[in-house]
Amino acid sequence: MKSTLEYFEEIMKIPRESGKEDKIANYLINYAKENNIEYNLGKYNTVFLKKDNNSNKTIILQAHSDMVCVSTDDYDFETQGIPFYIDGDYYKSKNTSLGADDGIGIAIILAILQEKEDMPNIEVMITTQEETTMLGASNFDYSLLTGKTLISLDGIKEADIESSSAGMCSIILNKKINYETTSCNTYKLSISGLKGGHSGDDIDKSRCNAIKLAIKLLEKLDYKEIVDIQFGKCDNVIPSEGYVIFTSNENIELLQKKLDDIELKLSDEDSNIILNLEKSESLNSIKESKDIVEFLSKIKDGLLETYQDDNFPLLSSNIGKISVLNNIIEIKYSIRSSDLSKEEMLLNELELLANQYKFDMIIDAKKPFFPFKENSMIRKILADSYKKLYGKETIVKKVHACMEGGILSNNIDNLDICTIAPSIDNCHSINEHISISSTKRVYDWLKETLIEYNKIK
């Protein structure tokens, strides 16, 4: 029997970027064959596992196999695993995201399936593309499932029982651009060192969005036109670095002085910011530069509205990526909301703005939120089990991150669902790390919960 950590280390060695989960699916199928566990490979490389423990109770365990792939280097996530290492109580990575979200969830499930204690029958959903389209959960074969109680291992903090989540709308904004000859000086402004982070979990922490900052700096520097702009990785990550190449009539000494005099007003978490201005070369610049910069300055970004009772995020948005390629400027944008009407209002506002500045707007994916369930048996068992083991109370939490719970709830009638996990810090960033001791506690917590659940008549 392997431990959770042994499985986790094996999983981190497997490339598993969203949309490219074939290798991790093969790993899971081989696991099932080796351990005589029923399995099914579904659409988009989803995997179903089932272990019959001769119980009259059945529970569903769920995790997703993909990860957000970000790096400060030109790292090949398609062919290489994660360069992880152990630092004290933490698994960390060298200049890439770690993939603990949600590799650790799979590792815990695989270890649980090896347990010999009196357990309920266990049905396992391993979904895919959770970090992008959620096509795995949307296209899962739900006829394979008989359970009505589900524990997801896709949280980020020990002792939190996540019992509702925001929905998310992913949007692509495109605009055809034209170039014209320029005789102005050309400069490259690079931004790095910002904290970045998860656009749901970290959106209320006042972390600077590198794209928004770049636009602010361009306006302060009295730029003439843009030559190129490249920031961010995907719509669910707060961008922390990138560059913009622009033209100006000023010399570099004057521009540098202007840059040094700009008051950035950043949070303490962004204190490691690095701004670098250098000369560049280009004969052409983008004719539509003014419209692009105005559009980006007007797009709403960050925390937009909170619940009145506890100031928890209710509505937010994130400009996650901008790039120029083949005469097209593309922006990846997301809206998170736990109120469908507020999401629609923001979408309508964005559409009007896009039309004004002649951007094509495509809704790439809409992922539903799932509401809080007042009476949850599994939530009570989870809370009681954690207190029994560790003498501490759990916290029932709303989640502003978009999770698959909305899709699962829409496909399984009367589903009782909660989400737990070990403590993972700085998800979706190169600073992502996970606590080893927390992982061990959460494993024992889940095991105790399943044993208690199995005792219910």
Q: Report all structural domains of the chain as residue ranges with CATH numbers, in order of start.
A: 4-155+403-455 (3.40.630.10), 169-367 (3.30.70.360)
* Integer Cα distance of 363 and 171 in angstroms: 5
pLDDT computed for residue 118 by the predictor: 92
* Integer Cα distance of 125 and 145 in angstroms: 9
* Integer Cα distance of 284 and 50 in angstroms: 60
Task: Give CB contacts under 8 A, 24+ apart, made by 303-312.
Answer: 303/203, 303/204, 304/346, 305/342, 306/204, 307/398, 312/204, 312/398, 312/400
* Integer Cα distance of 65 and 47 in angstroms: 9
pLDDT computed for residue 398 by the predictor: 86
Taking the C-alpha atoms of 22, 23, 27 and 29 in order, what is their torsion angle to the nearest 10 degrees? 20
Beta strands in 113-241 (DSSP E): 121-127, 149-152, 160-176, 179-181, 185-192, 197-198, 226-232, 237-238
pLDDT computed for residue 334 by the predictor: 96
Helix (H, G, I), strand (E, B) or coil at 322: strand
pLDDT computed for residue 1 by the predictor: 64
Q: Which amino acid is at 286?
A: I
pLDDT computed for residue 138 by the predictor: 95
Q: Is-above-0.85 flag for pTM?
A: no
pLDDT computed for residue 70 by the predictor: 92
Give me the tens of pLDDT residue by residue for the chain, a chain 457 residues long: 689 999 999 999 999 999 999 999 999 999 999 999 999 999 999 999 999 999 999 999 999 999 999 998 889 999 999 999 999 999 999 999 999 999 999 999 999 999 988 999 999 999 999 988 899 999 999 999 999 999 999 999 999 999 988 999 999 999 999 999 999 999 999 999 999 998 998 999 999 999 999 999 999 998 999 999 999 988 989 999 999 999 999 999 999 999 999 999 999 999 999 999 999 999 899 999 999 999 999 999 999 999 988 889 999 999 999 999 999 999 999 999 999 899 999 999 999 999 999 999 999 988 888 888 889 999 999 999 999 999 999 999 888 988 899 999 999 999 999 999 999 999 888 999 999 999 999 999 999 999 999 999 7
CA distances from 231 to 197, 362, 402 (A): 14, 20, 23
Cβ-based burial of 190 (10 A; exposed 0-12, middle 13-18, buried ≥19)? middle
Q: Tell whether the torsion through CA atoms of 225, 239, 306 and 405 is positive or negative.
A: positive
